[in-house]
Amino acid sequence: MRNKYIIGIDGGSQSSKVVIFDLEGMIVSEGKCELQPMHLAENGVVEHPDDDLWDSLVVASRAAMDHFPGNKADIIGLGLCTIRFCRALLKRDGSLASPVMSWMDARVSKPYVHENDDVAYVTTTSGYVTQRLTGNFVDTAANYQGQWPIDTDTWAWSEDDAVIEQLGIPREMLFDLQIPGSILGMVTEEAAVKLGIPEGIPVVATANDKAVEALGSGLLAENTALISLGTYIAAMIPGHDNPKGTKAFWTNFASTPQQYLYESNGIRRGMWTVSWFKELLGDDIMLKAHQDGHSVEEFLNREAQHIPAGSEGLMTVLDWLAPSDAPYRKGMMIGFDARHTRAHIYRSILEAIALTMKNRVDEMCEELGISLGNLIISGGGSNSSLLMQIFADIFGIKTMRTKVNGSASLGAAICVAVALDIYPSYDVAAEKMVRVGHTFKPDEANHVLYSRINQEVYKEITMGTDSLLKKAALVFQ
């Protein structure tokens, strides 16, 4: 019997990725296309220019297919995962009536206002791409959080007319919903030609990007948390209930039907801050890294691993993008002295990521009434063994990363494997397709030091600086 393959699509905030897996979760080929810079027409407007989400997917798909060594006819299905909290306005024929609104666009956090008569449908990025792939106006229910008239208990559109009216989207402008693991349609001839993939293969519903990433990381046990390292960093814990009115977390749809993910408060512009610092160092660091035979990230990690835990008193507060409830806050580095180098600054940023998420996860666990036993880290930052060890030392528990770093694409493939009865359940599929990479155990001495730094100093920094930053906000408007 010939091998069979599954396509997993990961449409992210910065790139579109297409990965082809075998049925054991091994990567066979992949393609990636960076998205264009966001279009900032005016304050609060953040759009994906042109038809960038689809066009980048075409490029990524063709790259994956160009490197695919197998028989094209053995590709049996496609799982689609895209960015959450976006809004796409479509014409009657399914084409864009205007550029897709990013999750950072202020309009997506408000009810829809019908201002363009060309708009016939209001949907998500997954709804838009699904329509382009299949011709069907159908979408996964698990990508509708925020300003959508969805009943999160039933995973269906609300039947309350007041909710529909409040959010401004008439029922006829909404796509039909399916739960994860459902077949949304088949790839059309037109889409197959553009993407270079087989015509007629099923497109399977997944969920929002964080939920699919969690599934692809093997997050199924309720005493385990996943920290997703991306532009937005958040922690997730799986659960069966749908609690309302929580403070330290909110309830998201999972990629497994009728299950939920509890998602902590997070860090906005999280890993972006690492990129910011890298770019701030300029061409000189790129040249030194190249001469050393490493990427800039590897070069900085090598330098920073020689800096002791705590960065010799240098601490970073990651408010490079202020929270909505404290718009006056700014990013800070405090505790400089003559010992400090770029390696100290870099390590301090990594420590700030882990310390902040430790506090966010602790708050979530306390509200849920659970104790954490294991930690999974996903996203590009998990490639850094230094950052992985910092997480293990700060949390004080076993911390692991998976072999497939782009776990959203793998999660999408797992959904296909279950939908097509390759595996009988999500648990079995995850066991067969998700592989643990390296596991990091905490250094007890470092854990004690980090705990003291966090409890005695780090948690209280903003309490001491908020009043000053409020005054500064009046000056530096």
Q: What is residue 151's predicted lDDT score, i.e. its pLDDT?
A: 96
In the predicted model, is pLDDT for residue 179 greater than 80?
yes
Percent helix, strand, coil in the chain (nearest 5)? 40, 25, 40
User: pLDDT category, 269, cuts 50, 70, 90?
Assistant: confident
- pLDDT digit string (tens) for 392-420? 999 999 999 998 877 999 999 999 999 99
Mean pLDDT value across the chain: 94
Rounded mean pLDDT, 458-466: 95
Closest by Cα among 291, 337, 65 to 345: 337
Predicted model pTM: 0.89
User: pLDDT category, 249, cuts 50, 70, 90?
Assistant: very high
Distance CA 460, CA 225 (A): 25
Pull the structure tokens for residue 174.
């909404």
User: pLDDT category, 1, cuts 50, 70, 90?
Assistant: very low
Q: How many other β-carbons are positioned within 10 Å of the β-carbon of residue 364?
A: 25
Sign of CA dihedral 392, 359, 212, 271: negative
327 Ramachandran zone, left/alpha/beta (phi>0; psi -120 to 50):
alpha
∠ CA 273-366-231, nearest 5°, is: 15
Residue type, position 94, single letter: G
Question: Between residues 405 and 463, which one has the greater pLDDT?
Answer: 463
Rounded mean pLDDT, 73-83: 96
Residue type, position 316, single letter: T
Helix, coil or strand: residue 196: coil
Pull the structure tokens for residue 250.
């909110």
Q: Which of 85-94, 114-123, 319-328 has the lowest mean pLDDT?
A: 319-328
* Complete DSSP assignment for 59-106: HHHHHHHHT--S-GGGEEEEEEEE-SS-BEEE-TTSSBSSPEEPTT-G
* Complete DSSP assignment for 5-37: EEEEEEE-SSEEEEEEEETTS-EEEEEEEEPPP
In the predicted model, is pLDDT for residue 364 greater than 60?
yes
Residue 463 C-alpha from the chain's centroid: 29
Distance CA 21, CA 339 (A): 48
Closest by Cα among 38, 43, 214, 60 to 129: 60
Query: Across the strands, what pairs with 49?
Result: none
Pull the structure tokens for residue 358.
């430790």
User: pLDDT category, 379, cuts 50, 70, 90?
Assistant: confident
Rounded mean pLDDT, 357-375: 95
In the predicted model, is pLDDT for residue 376 greater than 80?
yes
SS3 string, 101-159, reads ECCCCHHHHCCCCCCCCCCCEEECHHHHHHHHHHCCCEEEHHHCCCCCCEECCCCEECC
Beta strands 267-268 and 232-239 are antiparallel
- pLDDT digit string (tens) for 288-347? 888 888 899 999 999 999 999 999 999 999 999 888 889 999 999 999 999 999 999 999
